[in-house]
Amino acid sequence: MTTAKASDVPGLGDVTVWGESAPRAFLCVPGAGGSRRDAEGFAARAAQAGWQTAACDLPEGLLPWECVPYLHDLAARMRQRWPVLGLRATSIGAWLSLVALRDAHLEIALLQSPVLDMVGLIEQMLRQEGVSREELAEQGEIRTDSGALSWRYLTFAEDHGVRSWSVPTSIIVGERDELLPREAVDAFCRRFGADLTVVEGGAHWLHEPGELDAVARWEAAALAPRGEG
């Protein structure tokens, strides 16, 4: 499989592109701690299905008021090169993509361990740290052993809930995901008609060998033409 830097695709910026020339491409968005290099395995499977893959790194800090405009602009620039776009996103990268790309007219979305209720996740962190909404609003930001709690982040999430999503979507989650309430995943699937695959015994990151195999099978099935896989 050939690998091309974004310099080979004018206007994309700091993005890595995999695959032979094709009229359609996936935008691959990592989760926290991930990078565009993680997309290579998926890119190989996508190439077999006739897709190129353009993988990005998210702006440092994963601040939604920076990441959402970045992803929105990147998808618009990709559209100038590829008439058909898909999305492959992980964890917080999936939430940021859902906010940024809800009007991007995507062909398909593959979401791994997606954060689907960011407000609920932040409120869970507040409870765990014994911090009230009023305290967070007053202080603006509170540092904890597990990271920073931000009032601006919480209000951004409340103002940018995923209220519409018309893209054919496949989701994979671990049975024992410690970050994602299963109710939020099931509610999203019911509301927007997404397909759901659950990895038995899997945690959030799905990084163990058996979990990686399950993710690869899920990707291959989602990429297969309808009626196959």
- Provide the residue ranges of all domains of the chain, joining segments of one domain with +: 6-116+164-223, 117-161
Task: Judge whether residue 160 has pLDDT over 70.
Answer: yes
Please give the pLDDT value at position 7: 47
Quick one: average pLDDT of 19-24? Answer: 95
Question: Alpha helix locations (H) across the chain?
Answer: 40-48, 64-79, 92-100, 118-129, 133-139, 151-159, 182-192, 209-223
Share of the chain above pLDDT 70, in %: 94
Inter-residue contact 137 to 151 (CB < 8 Å): yes
> In this predicted model, what pLDDT tens digit does every residue of 191-215 receive, in sequence order?
999 999 999 999 999 999 999 999 9
> Helix 64-79 vs helix 92-100: angle between axes, to the nearest 10 degrees?
60
Q: Exposed/middle/buried for 89, CB within 10 Å: 0-12, 13-18, 19+?
A: buried
Task: Judge whether residue 10 has pLDDT over 60.
Answer: yes
Please give the pLDDT value at position 8: 58
Task: Judge whether residue 5 has pLDDT over 70.
Answer: no
C-alpha neighbours within 13 Å on the C-beta side of residue 112:
28
pLDDT band at 109, cuts 50/70/90?
very high
Mean per-residue pLDDT over the chain, rounded? 93
What is d(CA 178, CA 182) in angstroms, rounded to the nearest whole number?
10
Query: Of the candidates 165, 89, 164, 91, which has an alpha carbon nearest to the alpha carbon of residue 121?
Result: 91
When comparing pLDDT for 185 and 3, which is higher?
185
Query: Of the candidates 128, 113, 120, which has an alpha carbon nearest to the alpha carbon of residue 154?
Result: 120
Please give the pLDDT value at position 1: 55
Q: Exposed/middle/buried for 54, CB within 10 Å: 0-12, 13-18, 19+?
A: buried
Task: Judge whether residue 28 has pLDDT over 50.
Answer: yes
When comparing pLDDT for 41 and 8, which is higher?
41
Please give the pLDDT value at position 229: 45
Residue 24's SS3 state is strand
Task: Judge whether residue 180 has pLDDT over 70.
Answer: yes
Quick one: average pLDDT of 87-113? Answer: 97
In the CATH scheme, what architecture does the domain 6-116+164-223 have?
A: 3-Layer(aba) Sandwich (3.40)
Q: Exposed/middle/buried for 218, CB within 10 Å: 0-12, 13-18, 19+?
A: buried
